[in-house]
Amino acid sequence: MVPDVGRIYADAEQLREVFSEMFETVADDERMGGLVAQQMVINFRLHDPGADIWVDGRARPVVTTFEPIGIDATLTADLSADSMHELLLGTLPLGKAVLFRKLKVSGSTSRALKLEPLLHACQAVYPGIADRRL
């Protein structure tokens, strides 16, 4: 399948492969401590292409799946796959993503700040993964 002009990921399968590797790499990263301490479950709803990513921080190592896990998310983040790519590369700051509504967050605002350590852990590994897979 040929990707749409301007789209980073060719399709949902490629997106899942990249994000599976990234989340497996950071699953036991020390920066996951905040998620585990707060017992957070985060649902990233990506579109263009679509993927529903569940990050379960109720235990270590943090578990990630692309299927619902049977409980409500503590926090839901809705954004395009391209915006997520920019966040993970560090070219789109988290604050700007929220301000310009590229990232819509549902759930506790104070808990939304707990996304930052997760984001930083992912930013540390994502560029290398993206270079190999995209």
Domain map (residue ranges) of the chain: 12-133
Cβ 18 vs Cβ 27: under 8 Å: no
Q: Report the alpha-carbon distance of residue 26 to residue 120 in Å, rounded.
A: 10
Look at domain 12-133 and name its CATH class: alpha beta
3 state DSSP class of 38: coil
Q: What is the mean pLDDT of residues 98-119?
A: 83
Residue 108: its pLDDT value, please?
A: 73
Residue 111: its pLDDT value, please?
A: 67
Q: How do strand 41-47 and strand 75-80 relate by DSSP bridges?
A: parallel
Residue 44: its pLDDT value, please?
A: 96
At residue 24, does pLDDT exceed 90?
yes
In this structure, the dihedral spanned by the alpha carbons of residues 133, 4, 115 and 34, taken in order and rounded to 10 degrees, is -30
Q: Report the alpha-carbon distance of residue 113 to residue 110 in Å, rounded.
A: 6
Structure token digits, residue 109: 């605002």
Cβ 27 vs Cβ 63: under 8 Å: yes
Q: What is the pLDDT of residues 31-77, one digit of tens each?
A: 998 889 989 999 999 999 999 999 999 999 999 999 999 999 999 99
At residue 90, does pLDDT exceed 90?
yes
Residue 98: its pLDDT value, please?
A: 86
Residue 3: its pLDDT value, please?
A: 43
Residue 1: its pLDDT value, please?
A: 42
pTM here is 0.90
> Buried (b) or exposed (e) across 36-68, using 16+ Cβ within 10 A?
eebebbbbbebebbebebbbbbeeeebbbeeee
Q: Report the alpha-carbon distance of residue 88 to residue 94 in Å, rounded.
A: 10
